[in-house]
Chain A
Amino acid sequence: MSKSSLGIKNVRIIDPYNKVDNISDIIIVDGIITNIGKDLFAQSEKPNIDIIDGTDKILSPGFIDLHTHLRDPGEEHKETIETGMLAAAKGGFTTICSMPNTNPPVDNSSTVKYILDESKKFELIQVLPIGCVTKGRKGIQISEMWDLKNAGCVGFSDDGDPIYNPEIMQIALQYSEHLGLPVINHCEDTQLSKHSSVNEGKISNRLGLSGWPNQAEDIMVARDIELAKKYGGHLHIAHASTARAVELINEAKNFGVNVTAEVTPHHLTMTDSWFLGHQRDVDIFTSLGTDAYDSNLKVNPPLRTKTDIESLLTGVKEGIIDAIATDHAPHALQDKITTLDDAAYGINGLETAFTLLASLYHKNILDIVEIINRLTLGAVKVIANSIEKPKGIIKGELADIVLLDLNSDTTIVGKDFISKSKLTPLEGMTFKGRVLLTLAKGSVVYEFNNN
């Protein structure tokens, strides 16, 4: 893809890498940021490039998603590396970490190589593979973590499944200590969660569904923290969803345990009461809407309650939760259009992440600087030992940026998704905020088209 040349006038640059938050003009020539400053376009020697009016818009370094399911290799009918990268670019992400629950799983160097080679073919965004903790994701034997690191993995996870055996977790953390890479656990005691579709509570009772209690997450977060306390290593908690998990992570950080955590946009914005079928929080005894039991809301861990959301938001604000990650989990139609019990877990996350997070900004719940921080610098903290720290928006560097509009109405329409997965529980809903333009390594990888 050819390097781009363009100018953005009068835009608010929020760059957590360089602690910048000001309104400037910026010029990019052949993909390189050649100038940042005031009134660059007022002078007579106006460069011969397209100039975008950045008034009331925000320019951020490209977002990093720590948690993307690309489904490739093995389930290319759900997503391919190419469609996943394009969907990510549309969401403002210029780097994504691919989860290893593919077929074959990413438990060997050649699969890592396949993902890296395939992702580089398209010259879009950067894909950083995460490798399996155990061979075949079976939870029995540790994978060859050293080899996986050498092949290019930036972390380890059996995501989709927890690392259930505490001894395996112990060994993984000890290897993590050697390698400087995080062990990312999907914290779920499956005997307690019973693979349920919804949070345990009044909603599960109302709907007659078995529930996935908070304790199934809390117990495993606590276990992992105790193990990390004793055996070292870098523990990363994937998609934290409970109030107690936030407390436990906070306590561990205060104690000096090397633990980081992420939360998803959906766990910050939707509750289990959405299962009553009204696309919003409703009182428990509102009669069921036509969308009751919407399987598009089925995610793992499940959507929780207002109380949990409040704690998660506090966690984001206070830095207890380091990153916001999408857990983009595309599925084929037939895997989702069925009863809640039969439906697969997972939500289309990449293309709606910023819009959902912007809704928190508009409700004065999160500041835009906090949101951007958790999508950039906060995410980098988790994989800092295996990537070069992004330079941010500075003169002389390749542009790796995203231009954001916080104010335009955006209606979510699944069929317009670039992802192969066209289903979303947000179908038809209108929010304020969208991604306008994404540049990765100096090239335009996404541009909003009003038509």
Chain B
Amino acid sequence: MKNLKSIESIVEHNYKLSHSVKNLLDIDQLDFNDLETIFSLSEIIDSFLLNNEKKSSLLKGKTIVTLFYESSTRTRVSFEEAGKLLGADVINMSGSGTSIDKGESLLNTCLTLQSAHTDLIIVRHPHSGAPNFMAKNLLKTKIINAGDGWHAHPTQALIDLYTVKQSFDKLEGLKVVIVGDILHSRVARSDIIGFQKLGVNITLCAPKSLLPTILLNKSNIDESDPYNKVNIEYDLEKALDKADIVMPLRIQQERLGEVSGFPSLREYSSRFQINDKTLKFAKPSAIVMHPGPMNEGVEISSEIAHSDRSQIENQVRYGVAIRMSLLYLMLSGGDFNE
């Protein structure tokens, strides 16, 4: 890590993404070097944050709007905090109390924000592709996807990769097991792309009804598809064998229809919960991650969630640094058309 006087002095070190990123819609837009840049910048920023040297004016004069059509705690707070710590003006918007309540369309809401000199919109939306739709229609204002439907959550994936990087010397060849509601998970979709970029092997474990149908018959999957290399294991104990990273996911009740995809949370947790007993099947060195929010006692036991092996609180901590890095990289470089 470079030795810097203050957070402000990162400007002297010319951190840049390999190509200009106007909109971050999913993690597949970032190449290996971009990931390295974001991670090394995040390390520096994180160390300043830990030293309580948090505030800077790197993004002074920039206006950021967080536009959340879905509820969120950590993503929203950490983006807001990241923007504010960098000196940007951050405005929070949600459905209630705005013209969204009066039926204003997503398009017009975005055009309004663009006209009001917004430099960047951080959007969360229940519909997959909503950030892509905005990006197509906004020529000036930049977009960061803070989670869209089942599609993507690129900043969470960055956090997850960074957390793994902080925990292991070498990433290539590690085994990550993602357990639970993969079908409805935007985090899983972005993580699968991200982990593969870094050479981490992926195993998914869930009842078939919570996996994308396409995975149930591998012959349907093209070789170039990242899902081609993903392993599926329905038995949790077998799935966890030699695992380095264990990542249970929340059952997304709000995305399940009237027919909920499995009989009961009780039965589900008896077969798929990460707890003292099941975690024994993973490597003794294995870490546990969770993108949050957790339903303790369902997909993960409280003991494990708050154990030494849990990186869950670190994930939240890193979330601020990662998002500060990203905001800095996307907003400090002048015009994106350079």
Which residues of A come within 8 Å of B, CB atoms? Answer: 194, 200-202, 204-211, 213, 277, 283-285, 287-288, 290-293, 295, 334, 337-342
Alpha-carbon distance between A110 and B107 when the two chains are bound, in angstroms: 40
The stretch among B53-61, B87-95, B149-157 that forms the contact with chain A is B149-157
**Residue from B26, B130, B214 having most chain A Cβ neighbours under 10 A:** B214
Q: Say whether B212 contacts A205, CB under 8 Å.
A: yes
Closest beta carbon of chain B to A239's beta carbon, Å: 23
Closest beta carbon of chain A to B179's beta carbon, Å: 18
Q: Looking at the complex, which one of B135, B149, B212, B220 makes contact with A290 (CB distance below 8 Å)? A: B135
Q: Say whether B132 contacts A293, CB under 8 Å.
A: yes
* Chain B residues near A341 (CB-CB < 8 A): 126-128, 149
* Chain B residues near A194 (CB-CB < 8 A): 257
The stretch among B160-168, B222-230, B272-280 that forms the contact with chain A is B222-230
Q: Say whether B222 contacts A285, CB under 8 Å.
A: yes
Q: Looking at the complex, which one of A288, A337, A342 makes contact with B132 (CB distance below 8 Å)? A: A288
Closest beta carbon of chain B to A188's beta carbon, Å: 16
Q: Say whether B224 contacts A284, CB under 8 Å.
A: yes
Q: Say whether A292 contacts B106, CB under 8 Å.
A: no
Alpha-carbon distance between A201 and B215 when the two chains are bound, in angstroms: 9
Closest beta carbon of chain B to A213's beta carbon, Å: 7
Q: Say whether A340 contacts B136, CB under 8 Å.
A: no
Taking the complex as formed, is B133 at the interface, i.e. its CB lies under 8 A from any CB of chain A?
yes
Taking the complex as formed, is B186 at the interface, i.e. its CB lies under 8 A from any CB of chain A?
yes
Q: Say whether B129 contacts A340, CB under 8 Å.
A: yes
Q: Say whether A338 contacts B149, CB under 8 Å.
A: no
* Chain A residues near B213 (CB-CB < 8 A): 200-201, 205, 211, 213
Query: What 20 additional pairs, Cβ within 8 angstroms, besides A208-B151, A288-B132?
Result: A205-B189, A205-B212, A207-B151, A208-B149, A208-B189, A209-B150, A277-B132, A284-B222, A290-B132, A291-B136, A292-B129, A293-B128, A293-B132, A337-B137, A338-B106, A339-B106, A339-B125, A339-B127, A340-B128, A341-B127
| Tier of interface size on chain B | 35 or more
Q: Say whether B214 contacts A290, CB under 8 Å.
A: no
* Chain B residues near A207 (CB-CB < 8 A): 128-129, 151
Alpha-carbon distance between A201 and B213 when the two chains are bound, in angstroms: 7
Q: Say whether B132 contacts A292, CB under 8 Å.
A: yes
* Chain B residues near A342 (CB-CB < 8 A): 106, 127
Alpha-carbon distance between A291 and B184 when the two chains are bound, in angstroms: 23
Which residues B128-187 have CB closer than 8 A to chain A? 128-130, 132-133, 135-137, 148-152, 186
The residue of chain B having its C-beta at the shortest distance from the C-beta of A194 within the complex is: B257
Taking the complex as formed, is B221 at the interface, i.e. its CB lies under 8 A from any CB of chain A?
yes
Closest beta carbon of chain B to A192's beta carbon, Å: 11
Taking the complex as formed, is B29 at the interface, i.e. its CB lies under 8 A from any CB of chain A?
yes
Q: Say whether A202 contacts B214, CB under 8 Å.
A: yes
* Chain B residues near A283 (CB-CB < 8 A): 222, 224
Taking the complex as formed, is B18 at the interface, i.e. its CB lies under 8 A from any CB of chain A?
no
Closest beta carbon of chain B to A295's beta carbon, Å: 8
Closest beta carbon of chain A to B328's beta carbon, Å: 24
Taking the complex as formed, is B25 at the interface, i.e. its CB lies under 8 A from any CB of chain A?
yes
* Chain B residues near A295 (CB-CB < 8 A): 133
Known A-B contacts A210-B150, A291-B136; A284 and B129 likewise in contact (beta carbons under 8 Å) = no
**Residue from B105, B127, B149, B226 having most chain A Cβ neighbours under 10 A:** B127
* 3 cross-chain pairs, A with B, having the tightest CB-CB distances, nearest first: A208-B151, A293-B129, A208-B150
Alpha-carbon distance between A338 and B132 when the two chains are bound, in angstroms: 11
Closest beta carbon of chain B to A277's beta carbon, Å: 8
Q: List 7 A-B contacts (CB under 8 A).
A: A200-B213, A208-B128, A283-B222, A285-B226, A287-B28, A290-B132, A338-B106
The residue of chain B having its C-beta at the shortest distance from the C-beta of A277 within the complex is: B132
* Chain A residues near B221 (CB-CB < 8 A): 202
Known A-B contacts A205-B214, A208-B151, A334-B105; A288 and B26 likewise in contact (beta carbons under 8 Å) = yes
Alpha-carbon distance between A339 and B128 when the two chains are bound, in angstroms: 8
